[in-house]
A and B are shown apart, each in its own frame.
Chain A
Amino acid sequence: MPDTTPWFERNTFHHSDFSDLGRLVDLKRELGFKVSLCFPTLNEAATIAKEIVVVKAELATRFPLIDEIAVIDSGSSDRTRELAAECGASVWLAQDILPGLPPLKGKGENLWKALHVLSGDVIVYVDADIKNIHPRFVYGLLGPILARGGVKYSKAFYDRPIAVDQKNLKPSGGGRVTELVIRPLFSLYYPELAEIVQPLSGEYAGTRDVLEAIPFPIGYGIETSMLIDILERWGMDVIAQVDLDRRVHRNQDTLALGRMAFGIMKTFFRKLESSGKASWPAESADDMIQFQLEGMKYRRDTRRIELVERPPIIEIPEYLAGQKAAR
């Protein structure tokens, strides 16, 4: 008999549901899974060492839940790569992975290329700018995939205060771009995805068979794109969301959030068109126009935000060859 419990109740978890790490290790072994943890980085020297040490201590040394920890770096000019290597992570420069492809720069590129160099059956992606790192950020995301049959992708949500300065925090709700942009759009066209508390959160985990079969936008739209693709191909039942409590992250100014919203909307509308939900008479523009007050004058600032996307990595011959060799 099908489970008629609403998705939100059925597939929403709290990290403490999975705090029995010994049990998670047993489940991982039973499933025969290998787990990889990936930190995409660009100039994260302030936090990367701590993140690796804390997670490695608990989830590799004490409980063998994670089999490999990797940093995929976009070309940091600080000591990110050096510190990560000192702490025992495998470190890759994104441009050195699949070097035959034209290089692109962005978080999505790092996540996508990670699939080629990591060997895990499950990949956990965690942003490297988390100041209050805790092992729950990783085991909380792994929990539904290991413990809940059928779940192939889990997404984090948080109580997300933002660090406004060295000393002060203020609450940010679900995030401004989430509440003002993506939630209204999801509610209009993909109401199932509106059930996700923080669709833009940067921490998620997925099984390789899912991640290798979907395209990865390189810029801001990666999270939006992933959710739509997974929904359309596998349905909501493979998606879970996990409350990871509090996450302290860097604040972004309104202009930066505006550019993020621009990129996300481009991705969203492209998806809408490709899934036949809407059609547009012409190509949309790639330039985001913003104004900034400088003294008594407004300065016009135009930023090009193109929608660049990597195809499903399973379509890349080098990837297929690597996977075949690994098997």
Chain B
Amino acid sequence: MEEPILSYGPDDGEIAAMADRIGAIEDLVLGNTVMLGELPSDQDTVASDEAASRVGIRPRFFAERLSALGADEAWLDEDGHAVGLIEGLDRSAPPVLLGAELDSAYVDSWEVHYAIDEGWISGPGLLDNALGASALLCVPDLFRALGTRMQSDLIIVAYSGTMREGPMLGLVERFLSRLERKPRGALAVKGIEFGRLNYECEAVVRADLHIQMDPARTGRANAIAVAAEFVDRVLRLRVPSRPETVITIGTIEGGYKHGENAPDATVGFEVRSESNALLVSVMSRIASIVEELRYARKVDTEIRTGTKLGASGIGFRHPLVREALRTIKALGAVPSVYPSVSELHHYHSLGIPAVTIGIAEGEDYHTDHARARVASIRKGLAQMVSLALAIDGGACDA
């Protein structure tokens, strides 16, 4: 028998009604998504008439638009995050925070075009994470449409530089550490998948191994061959299935010409584990492999770590988790609960209860044709508002 859930936010009927009312402003949501998602997402892209500025087009658009749509304040912080504030009725209460990655993975071009057809919206970078960010952009409209006002201030933050080529998730920690008032609770908002619920983070290290040949020492040796040996040995490491630990080789680059030995190579890999101790152990074994290759193959090696997060979580019985499950079910979906590797860890490590939710049902996640079912977006937005109200109602205060 399921544990009864104490309600901190809207009841099930109100949540379903919210989704219907949000459906009436669907064009506003889609309009925001298209305008945001078609902008280049990389940090250094600037308008041609503003070459002196290093503020990205997308963060600037986000902040300006959030202000235009009715946030009480909106600004760009020193790391290029777009931040907004919607004042609550009780300015002394600790704030609620909604955060989303503003970048879209690997979408740097001006030539990004979205389409709307047969109940789907589609385009590169839509699901990761233009749709998640545009959900935050819609908050002023959502509150207006729902006639909602919170007791707490609501901080909206769209994080820049979170994708692979940027400074990645460390910027999230810096942002949270700089806040004058610690949020009482937070939601990490992703484009997909509506019904997802992450309340735990796996420990993760994402790193690149750089291999550089020195022709004076190695003659005709080849960096790609050394990279292949590294990959082979890493993948043969024995890792336990409980606590689950996974090693993934994600990228490999090297060389410049078909007929020449590659002078350098880079292998991008990720290790994730439900256990901090196991992660440390696996990384130590990888470092040993790299050290051995350095001496045995006479190459220069360097491991550059991009992301390093510890395992964290707020537990299944946390009221925010229970509320999240209730809202998903109230909206007619089956919850999909799993640990994530994301900025969620930074909320947890700073003692901010937080979960990750998804906005829409989607397909073809990381392709040029990534698409979201329009009719599902209203449910994701209803869940986001319901959970913000639940935090405002005390779900994270116990």
Contact = CB atoms under 8 A, between A and B. Distances in A.
Given A57-B27, A57-B30, A159-B48, A49 B115 contact: yes
B332 interface: no
Contacts of A54: 30-31, 34-35
B367 to A, nearest CB: 13
B218 interface: no
27 contacts: A45-B117, A46-B115, A47-B115, A49-B117, A50-B34, A50-B116, A53-B30, A54-B30, A57-B27, A57-B30, A57-B31, A57-B32, A58-B31, A61-B28, A79-B117, A83-B116, A87-B27, A87-B116, A133-B34, A134-B35, A161-B110, A163-B111, A166-B111, A168-B111, A169-B111, A248-B110, A248-B113
B38 interface: yes
Contact of B111 (A49, A50, A134, A167): A167
Contacts of B113: 47, 50, 131-132, 248
B109 interface: yes
Interface of B: 25, 27-28, 30-32, 34-35, 38, 48, 109-111, 113-117
Q: Which 8 A-B pairs have the closest CB atoms?
A: A57-B31, A49-B116, A57-B27, A131-B113, A57-B28, A54-B31, A53-B30, A50-B116
B117 A167 contact: no
A53 B116 contact: yes
Given A79-B117, A132-B38, 12 more contacts: A47-B113, A49-B116, A50-B113, A50-B115, A50-B116, A54-B34, A57-B31, A83-B116, A83-B117, A167-B109, A167-B111, A168-B111
A72 B110 CA distance: 30
Interface string A150-186: 0000000001010100111100000000000000000
A56 interface: yes
A62 B28 contact: yes
A157 to B, nearest CB: 15
Main secondary structure of the interface of B (DSSP, over half): mixed
Contacts of A50: 34, 113-116
Nearest to B368: A166
A164 to B, nearest CB: 10
A8 B345 CA distance: 57
B150 to A, nearest CB: 22
Contacts of A79: 117
A132 B123 CA distance: 12
B71 to A, nearest CB: 15
Interface residues of A, number: 29
A61 B111 contact: no
Contacts of B35: 54, 134
Contact of B27 (A45, A61, A163): A61
A131 B110 CA distance: 11
Nearest to B114: A50
A180 to B, nearest CB: 25
B27 A56 contact: yes
Contacts of B48: 159
B324 to A, nearest CB: 29
Interface-centre pick from B25, B27, B117 (highest chain A CB count, 10 A): B27
A156 B198 CA distance: 48
A166 B109 CA distance: 11
B311 to A, nearest CB: 40
Interface-centre pick from B38, B109, B111 (highest chain A CB count, 10 A): B111
Nearest to B39: A132
Interface string A40-54: 000001110110011
A74 B30 CA distance: 27
Contacts of A168: 111
A57 B111 CA distance: 23
Contacts of A47: 113, 115
A138 to B, nearest CB: 13
B381 to A, nearest CB: 15
A234 B116 CA distance: 41
A167 B109 CA distance: 8
Contact of B34 (A53, A83, A88, A163): A53
A49 B30 CA distance: 11
B123 to A, nearest CB: 9
Nearest to A132: B38
A134 B37 CA distance: 12
Contacts of A132: 38, 110, 113
A163 B113 CA distance: 12
A87 B31 CA distance: 12
Contacts of A163: 111
Contacts of B32: 57
A38 B32 CA distance: 22
Contacts of B110: 132, 161, 169, 246, 248
B151 to A, nearest CB: 27
A133 B33 CA distance: 12
A62 B137 CA distance: 14
Nearest to B123: A50
Contacts of A53: 27, 30-31, 34, 116
Contacts of B117: 45, 49, 79, 83
Nearest to A59: B31
A47 B123 CA distance: 12
Nearest to A246: B110
Interface string A52-91: 0110111001100000000000000001000100011000
A54 B116 CA distance: 10
